[in-house]
């Protein structure tokens, strides 16, 4: 019943984000709703950075200069370096093995080791014995069949997906959802009043998942501004939300 309710309450025109939410429904009844975002934001991120990495990897191989295993070649394009054991192709192969949870946890650890800015940020709860590994494997399959290859043309792909899922999870967590998510409509109204512009600084003392920053950049773009010419600063007291 819950799964059906989820489908009806989501807009049919959402598109890519809706596919992510449908993937979340695979876990319905197997874990508390409050744990969904911890599992899914990690998988969304892993799948996305792996897709971006593999796309760049293929380009470097084609260039033939031998830089495909050089982390600096990826950092130059703001792409996270993904070590072999953490690439989605390897995750997909292990989807239906009893070790899939451990493999995902090790993948997160390996990514943090190669990308210092992510240290202590990524979730590592996939090996939890309470999480049905057969169901987790089905979820991995859904992500495997999901097309995230348009990483360059859709720069905000990850952001839009994350924002949509956070909104859905917040609605199921009730009032606690406000701890990590403020509805986009509310944030957009605030931004429209503040009118951020190029060269300015935006500060959010309770930044949550960063919605104020995303909306500020959108506002600048909509007013023919340079999205790169803005500084954002924020702080967040809740450690889980910060991650």
Domain match, 90 and 203 both: no
Boundaries of domain holding 82: 13-172
Averaged pLDDT for residues 42-61 = 91
pLDDT at 112 over 80: yes
pLDDT tens per residue, range 162-214: 667 767 666 665 555 555 567 778 888 999 999 999 888 999 998 877 888 88
Answer whether residue 103 is part of any domain.
yes
Q: pTM here? A: 0.73
- Of the residues 126, 143, 172, which one is the last residue of a structural domain? 172
**Same domain (yes/no): 29, 110:** yes
Residue 7: per-residue pLDDT: 36
Quick check: is 166 in a domain?
yes
Beta-bridge mates of residue 234: 204
Q: What mean pLDDT is reported for the chain?
A: 80
- From 172, 190, 225, the end of a domain falls on 172
User: Among positive and negative, which fits the CA dihedral 183, 148, 22, 134?
Assistant: negative
- Same domain for 58 and 80? yes
* CA distance readout (Å), 2 to 29, 30, 156, 166, 190: 9, 12, 29, 18, 34
């Amino acid at each position: 019943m819950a799964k059906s309710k989820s489908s009806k309450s989501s807009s049919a025109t959402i598109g890519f984000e809706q596919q992510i939410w449908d993937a979340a429904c695979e876990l319905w009844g197997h874990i508390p709703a409050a744990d969904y975002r911890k599992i899914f934001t990690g998988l969304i991120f892993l799948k996305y950075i792996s897709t971006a990495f593999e796309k760049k990897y293929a380009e470097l191989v084609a260039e033939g200069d031998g830089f495909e295993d050089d982390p600096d070649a990826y950092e130059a394009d703001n792409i996270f370096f993904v070590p072999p054991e953490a690439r989605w192709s390897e995750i997909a192969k292990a989807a239906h093995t009893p070790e899939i949870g451990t493999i995902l946890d090790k993948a997160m650890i390996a990514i943090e080791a190669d990308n210092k800015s992510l240290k202590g940020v990524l979730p590592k709860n996939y090996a939890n014995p309470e999480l049905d590994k057969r169901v987790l494997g089905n979820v991995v399959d859904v992500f495997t069949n999901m097309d995230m290859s348009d990483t360059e043309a859709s720069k905000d792909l990850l952001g839009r997906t994350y924002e949509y899922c956070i909104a859905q999870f917040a609605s199921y967590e009730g009032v606690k959802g406000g701890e990590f998510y403020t509805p986009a409509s509310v944030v957009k109204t605030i931004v429209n009043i503040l009118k951020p512009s190029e060269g300015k600084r935006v500060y959010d003392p309770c930044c949550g998942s960063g919605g104020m920053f995303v909306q500020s950049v959108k506002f600048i773009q909509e007013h023919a501004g340079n999205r790169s010419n803005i500084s954002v600063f924020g702080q967040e007291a809740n450690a889980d939300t910060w991650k």
